[in-house]
Amino acid sequence: MRIFLNRKTTILALTLATITLASPSLMTAAKFYSDDPLLTAPETQNASGVTPWKIDLFYDLLSNQFTKPGLPPGSRAGNVNTIDEVPDSSWFTNRILAHPLRIEELVRGPLTSDGPAPGQLTIIRAKSEGAAPGFTVRDSAGTTWFVAFDPKSNPEAATGALVVAMRVFWALGYNQAEFYISELTRERLQIDPVATFQPPSGKLRPMTMKDIDPVLARAAQKPGGAYRIVASRLLPGKILGGFKYFGTRPDDPNDTVPHEQRRELRGLQVFGAWTNLVDVKALNTMDTLITENGQSRVRHYLLDVGSTFGIGANGPHDWTDGYENLFDKDKTLKRMVTLGFYLQPWQTVDYEDNPAVGRFEGDEFDPLTWKTRVPAAALLQALDDDTFWAARRVMAFTDEMIRTLVRTGQYSDPAAEKLISDVLIKRRDKIGQAYFTRINPLVNFSLDGSGILRFENAAEKAGIVKTHGTWSAAWSILNNNTGASTPLGETRGEGGQIAIPRNMPATPGAYLVAAVQGVNPPYAAWAKPAQATFRRTPDGWKLVGLERLTRLDTYEGRVPASRSPVNPAGTSGE
């Protein structure tokens, strides 16, 4: 039998159909799985089919500067586990903050040896990419090294920055190449008989020492004639080329989270601000194909973190570095029409003059306005929970750690070492102040058998506020299968402790949610709840969920990590 539907019923039917098709929430099963929270990200597929690629430098810069690549901003990080942390993966390994890092561990960092073996270094290749002078050598033990020098204008600056930053970023969790400070003289170099050189004519021919002299001529030389170098070991595995700060690698089956939604990449907005890592681009990254336990997968490196502190490959950072992107439409127009009198902070900020440091300071530094040289999608999409996550790691570096790390730069001028350390400490503190006050700062939630919810205030621990403050918790029971919640009431507490209500469930598998927010907090953002979810297990309550941003905060970009100053309580308009 066939009937015709009138308009009203057609709309009804279509509405129902639309709801069915479009409502993902109705298709959702359990909110938490039994294995939540994951501490290691699964990488289940064999990635042996990946092929090397070369990302064009200019295309990468132009597309990032003049387009908005990647998914629309406003989405929460896609690779965090249910307790808002980044699981270990081929991108990232939890180190500082995840467990106590000993000073020796920090100093060792990613290093596995003592650097190039003594004896002759055989040049096997000229440097093909990057602005810094350098070449590729093989040491007497047969190991391949990339050699880079300091620019003439800034002895010790680039090499020192590189080895310090390598350890900093390793401690933060990134895969790092091994960089060693060493020394060489021209006499220590020889040319591999099969090494070739490409002159301006473009025709490859056998390399001679005359081809190396222009490289050495650009490098800073020590009084005795030797050159201070930084030697980086060839990465293990097959070299695949860099990764972009948006999208995924189309040939890597395990690369399913768009890079702009990876929290460890978003966190570079904070880590970069701290260390002044301005040159964030695909060319400074590297993917390699490694095989472990019989399975091939892609490992991702932040390869070149040398453009940090006050120095770049060829000299001090540009004046605008850290303050402006290469192109800023509004500022460009304003400067055009004001004959350049639309002045910006970078034009007047005061730098201590030290060639081994370059342009690096902490007094005028503002983490909320700090910028990479060219925008990077992942950094631009950082939300307040991403920057909070990153800021916690920065704040985990103690003064002693920082000074020890900077000492590994082997600066001959103690003033240079002190300057970098002092500035890093200042910038670290500013990062804590900026990012711990933009979002609910409670961490380390636990619910013990005595019925006490315990937590810490990261801002108090960092000295940003003197007292822990008063916090209230709104309790509810979560039906993990339907997502429905049943309110249980509200309790309050001080000193990082709040008693739980009496009528809380005790059956294994039950889920209890505590939405904890500040009571008359000093910062408006602290009045928004951090929502901790616990699952009842035979051993007690286990933290399985933590959210600092509600979906309303993030969806459609309502609360991107805006660069506006933090409003104190009562003036935020919230």
Partner 1 sequence: MKLLVYKAGIWPKKCNLKGRTHIKATLTTFLSRTSLYWVVVLLSGALLSAPALVCAQPASRFESIAQEQAEKAKTLKPPVPDKAELLLKKAEDLFLVDPSGFFPYFDSVYQGGGLTAGAGYRKFFGDNSLWDVKGLYSVLNYKLIEGRIVSRDHWDKRIRFGTRVGWRDATEVSYYGIGMETNKDNRTNFRFQETYAEGFGELRVRPWLPIRSTVGFEQWNTLEGKGDEPSIETQHTPATAPGLGADIGYVHSRISAGIDWRTSPGYTRRGGLYQATLHDYRDGGGLYSFQKLDGEVIQHIPLLRETWVLAARGRVETTLNDSDVIPYFMLPSLGSGSTLRGYSSYRFRDRHSMLFNAEFRWLPTVGLDMALFYDAGKVTSRRSDLDFHNLKSDVGIGARFHGPMATPLRIDLAVSNEGWRLVFSGGPIF
State yes or no: residue 451 binds partner 1 (CB under 8 A): no
Q: Whose Cβ is closer to partner 1: residue 69's or residue 441's?
A: 69
Whether the CB-CB separation of 278 and 321 falls below 8 Å is answered with yes
Closest distance of CB 443 from partner 1, Å: 17
Q: Whose Cβ is closer to partner 1: residue 327's or residue 492's?
A: 327
Interacting stretch for partner 1, rule CB under 8 A, among 76-84, 171-179, 397-405, 434-442? 76-84
For the chain, the farthest-separated pair of C-alpha atoms sits apart, in whole angstroms, at: 100
| Binding residues for partner 1 restricted to 42-71, rule: CB under 8 A | 42-45, 49, 51, 53, 56, 58-59, 62-63, 71
State yes or no: residue 131 binds partner 1 (CB under 8 A): no
User: d(Cα 79, Cα 329) in Å, to the nearest integer?
Assistant: 33
For residue 224, what are its two tokens? 């005795």
Contact string (CB under 8 A) for partner 1, positions 255-284, x = contact: xxxx--x-----------------------
Closest distance of CB 96 from partner 1, Å: 22
Tally helices (H) and strands (E) across the chain.
14, 19
Closest distance of CB 84 from partner 1, Å: 9
Q: CB atoms < 10 A from the CB of 502, how many?
A: 9
Q: Whose Cβ is closer to partner 1: residue 3's or residue 506's?
A: 3
State yes or no: residue 201 binds partner 1 (CB under 8 A): yes
For residue 360, what are its two tokens? 């690096």
For residue 89, what are its two tokens? 């993966």
How many residues touch partner 1 under the rule CB under 8 A: the total is: 92
| Binding residues for partner 1 restricted to 219-258, rule: CB under 8 A | 249-258
Q: Figure out which of the listed residues 64, 69, 76, 435 binds partner 1, where binding follows CB under 8 A.
A: 76
- Neighbour order of strands in the sheet with 121-126: 179-184, 227-233, 144-149, 134-138, 121-126, 189-191
- Find, among 98, 83, 77, 173, the residue nearest to 384 by Cα: 77
Q: Figure out which of the listed residues 41, 195, 416, 524 binds partner 1, where binding follows CB under 8 A.
A: 41
Q: Quick one: three-class SS letters along 297-350?
A: EEEEEECCCCCCCEECCCCECCCCCECCCCCCHHHHHHHHHCCCCCCCHHHCCC
Q: What Rg do the C-alpha atoms of the chain give, in angstroms? A: 27
State yes or no: residue 31 binds partner 1 (CB under 8 A): yes
- 81 Cβ contact partners less than 8 Å away, ≥ 6 residues apart: 36, 37, 38, 39, 87
Q: Whose Cβ is closer to partner 1: residue 76's or residue 233's?
A: 76
Q: Figure out which of the listed residues 82, 136, 421, 440 binds partner 1, where binding follows CB under 8 A.
A: 82
Q: CB atoms < 10 A from the CB of 323, how many?
A: 21
Q: Whose Cβ is closer to partner 1: residue 82's or residue 288's?
A: 82
State yes or no: residue 32 binds partner 1 (CB under 8 A): yes
Contact string (CB under 8 A) for partner 1, positions 385-424, x = contact: ----------------------------------------
State yes or no: residue 199 binds partner 1 (CB under 8 A): yes
Closest distance of CB 546 from partner 1, Å: 9
Closest distance of CB 391 from partner 1, Å: 20
Cα separations in angstroms, 406 against 132, 163, 181, 356 = 22, 9, 13, 12
Q: Figure out which of the listed residues 102, 108, 205, 558 binds partner 1, where binding follows CB under 8 A.
A: 205
Residues 308, 312, 317, 322, CA torsion sign:
negative
| Binding residues for partner 1 restricted to 301-340, rule: CB under 8 A | 319-320, 326-328, 331-333, 335-336, 339-340
Whether the CB-CB separation of 111 and 180 falls below 8 Å is answered with yes
Q: Whose Cβ is closer to partner 1: residue 17's or residue 415's?
A: 17
- 325 Cβ contact partners less than 8 Å away, ≥ 6 residues apart: 65, 371, 372, 373, 374, 375
State yes or no: residue 115 binds partner 1 (CB under 8 A): no
Whether the CB-CB separation of 288 and 282 falls below 8 Å is answered with no
| Binding residues for partner 1 restricted to 522-551, rule: CB under 8 A | 545, 547, 551
Q: Whose Cβ is closer to partner 1: residue 26's or residue 194's?
A: 26
